[in-house]
Chain A
Amino acid sequence: MLTSSAAAAPAKRRAPARVLPGFKITLGYTLMYLCLIVLIPLSALVFKTFTLTWDEFWAAVTGPRVMASYRLTFGASLIAALVNVVFGLLVAWVLVRYQFFGKKLVDALVDLPFALPTAVAGISLTALLAGNGWVGQYFEPMGIQLAFNPNGIVIALIFSGSPFLVRTVQPVLEDAEKELEEAASCLGASRWQTFKHIIFPSIAPALLTGFAMAFARAIGEYGSVIFIAGNMPMISEITPLIIIGKLEQYDYAGATAVATVMLVISFILLLIINGLQAWQRRHSGAPV
């Protein structure tokens, strides 16, 4: 497999690559648009940060309220992404391997969190989970509050991140070679052993990619969280809300500093996700 694809690659490159017109104009337009919309505005953020002294910057990004918000944002995002790994794998597995009534409908519904505006998800989850809501009323007598505290944040983040896992694992499961499982079974493996040693290693890169995507999305998430969070300083205030709060007090320097921290984190996560995807493509043996 490896040698054949390595041999095919240079042959492809030797083919007349520039027969098609439009390379310069499309690349030029892409770069210009990318600079105008994304790169120059993001560099404004970085430059603004450099106008702060190190001490100012450090004070802005390590204040007690800000530190509490990092702990909350990262903790809740981590829990939500882990929950999504478990249920995302389960849903993807069920959708690929089993037949049941209404499967196509369920498959279409998985993308709902991508399509539903975050603010709508936010108020709807709040209405469900509040003490008098459809779901919240059953938890209230047990003394469990689901809305207006970190529980609500985790639930909102599970909602918004759920499609990432399903949609990254699903295609890998579809492409999985059944022959390997048949062979394992013929050699006497139990179904669980086959899953653990054959299936799981082949979907692990996809699971990790989906986890990183759901985590990255959760860290930046704003709309679906602020309605349900309760937004109490030190307890249920997420980092994006800290930025908004500083902006509303005209503390542009402080808002910029915290935003830069978030930008750096999301850039690192993006690089990790890209690396994971490249690993996944190599893993599945597809040409990169």
Chain B
Amino acid sequence: MSSQMIRRAEAGTTEAAWVRYTLIGISLVFLFLFLVLPLAAVFAEALRKGFDAYWEALKEPDAWSAIWLTLITALIAVPLNLVFGIAAAWCIAKYEFKGKSVLTTLVDLPFSVSPVVAGLVYVLMFGAQGWFGPWLQEHDIKIIFAVPGIVLATVFVTFPFIARELIPLMQAQGNEEEQAAIVLGATGWQTFWYVTLPNIKWGLIYGVILCNARAMGEFGAVSVVSGHIRGQTNTMPLHVEILYNEYQSVAAFAVASLLALLALVTLVIKSVAEWRHEREMKAIGDFSPENVKAAPLDLSLKAAS
């Protein structure tokens, strides 16, 4: 290939400078308007009457109980879905069986169900007129309009997060390393702890952090089952709603700013996890002897087709 042709080919895979800068400009403006401004507005509104008003709003006992309830809910929901996520990813990614694609679809189902519908199904199960309503009333157990209902609704909406993250990752990594460990005499647990877990570490952290963000921030589903009892069944997002509807704008945005901080921390951890994962993959790619073998093989396949 002549040098002129190479230059032509390279120029052919990118755009003129003015096109590049226009496209970058338009997307940055879009992201600024739709992402940066809403985020900045939360903090600006929260601090509109100064730091003192901000602290006052956060020191309120109702705000504290909302924060506690949110933390407790996430502390129950995330580990439950973590155990499920690992179990589901193990059986779906490591084995072939009948009905696997149906199972995968069903695992995804809570993602596409509206949060309001998710809350409603638990009211139909455990509410006063629901399936178990009369029995629960007889035994004086409260699920709906109480903390257990909030936890259940949160578990439902955050159900697929960790499984979704782990399934493609574990599928891509295949079974060879685990099979080697088993053949060398490791038990199932040892194989999981020392072989699988280090491989899926970053994906797992990513899934947990997203699951946690959604668990703490869930609004629709929790709002249906909570009953909005101040100081008792109010999570942080519900507390934000109540304050906002009472025109206590600064207080509402003060509590909201804590949730926005949580979102920012989530994004930072997520990015770090992604970069670390990429770097490890790159390091493996650089040194692994299999890859050297795989490259020419790949070329020959392309030539054949």
- Give residues in A with beta carbon < 8 Å to B: 1-2, 4, 13, 16-23, 25-27, 29-31, 33-34, 37-42, 44-45, 48, 87, 90-91, 93-94, 97-98, 100, 104, 106-121, 123-125, 127-128, 133-135, 158-159, 162, 178, 181-186, 189, 191, 194, 216-217, 219-223, 227, 240-241, 243-244, 247, 252, 255-256, 259, 262-263, 266-267, 269-271, 273-274
Contact = CB atoms under 8 A, between A and B. Distances in A.
A269 B112 contact: yes
B87 A29 contact: yes
Contacts of B54: none
A192 to B, nearest CB: 9
Interface string B174-213: 0100110011000110011000000000000000001001
Most buried by B among A37, A124, A217, A262: A124
B175 to A, nearest CB: 6
B120 A106 contact: no
Nearest to B181: A20
Contact of B8 (A127, A186, A252): A186
Interface string B146-159: 00000010011001
B283 to A, nearest CB: 19
Nearest to A266: B112
Given A38-B110, A44-B124, A45-B121, A128 B27 contact: no
Interface of B: 5, 8-16, 19-20, 23-24, 26-28, 30-31, 33-39, 41-42, 45, 83-84, 87-88, 90-92, 94-97, 101, 103-117, 120-125, 127, 129-131, 152, 155-156, 159, 175, 178-179, 182-183, 187-188, 191-192, 210, 213-214, 216-220, 223-224, 236-238, 240-241, 244, 249, 252-253, 256, 259-260, 262-264, 266-268, 270-271, 301-302, 304-305
B185 to A, nearest CB: 12
A212 B125 CA distance: 31
B37 A41 contact: no
Contacts of A114: 210, 213-214
Contact of B90 (A13, A22, A247, A263): A22
A114 B14 CA distance: 31
Given A4-B301, A27-B97, A240-B114, A194 B217 contact: no
Given A17-B96, A18-B95, A270-B105, A94 B117 contact: no
A223 B115 contact: yes
Contacts of B188: 20-22
A129 to B, nearest CB: 10
A271 B188 CA distance: 34
A-B CB proximity, top 6 nearest: A185-B12, A117-B217, A220-B114, A223-B219, A222-B220, A21-B188
Contacts of A2: 305
Contacts of A97: 14
Given A158-B34, A222-B114, 5 more contacts: A20-B178, A29-B87, A109-B267, A111-B267, A118-B219
B84 A29 contact: yes
B106 A38 contact: yes
Given A116-B260, A259-B116, A121 B9 contact: no
Contact of A219 (B19, B23, B114): B114
26 contacts: A13-B96, A17-B96, A21-B182, A25-B87, A34-B103, A38-B106, A42-B113, A107-B271, A108-B270, A117-B217, A117-B236, A117-B259, A119-B259, A124-B256, A135-B37, A162-B35, A182-B12, A185-B9, A191-B16, A223-B115, A244-B224, A259-B114, A259-B117, A266-B112, A267-B112, A270-B109
Contact of A38 (B8, B83, B159, B238): B159
A87 B5 CA distance: 34
A117 B221 CA distance: 13
Contact of A23 (B35, B42, B91): B91
Contacts of B121: 41-42, 44-45, 259
B27 A115 contact: no
B253 A44 contact: no
A119 B112 CA distance: 19
Contacts of A191: 12, 15-16, 19
Nearest to A223: B219
Contact of B182 (A20, A108, A123): A20
A181 B13 CA distance: 6
Contact of A178 (B13, B84, B122, B223): B13
A2 to B, nearest CB: 8
A128 B34 CA distance: 10
Contacts of A178: 13
A119 B27 contact: no
Given A38-B106, A108-B268, A125 B38 contact: yes
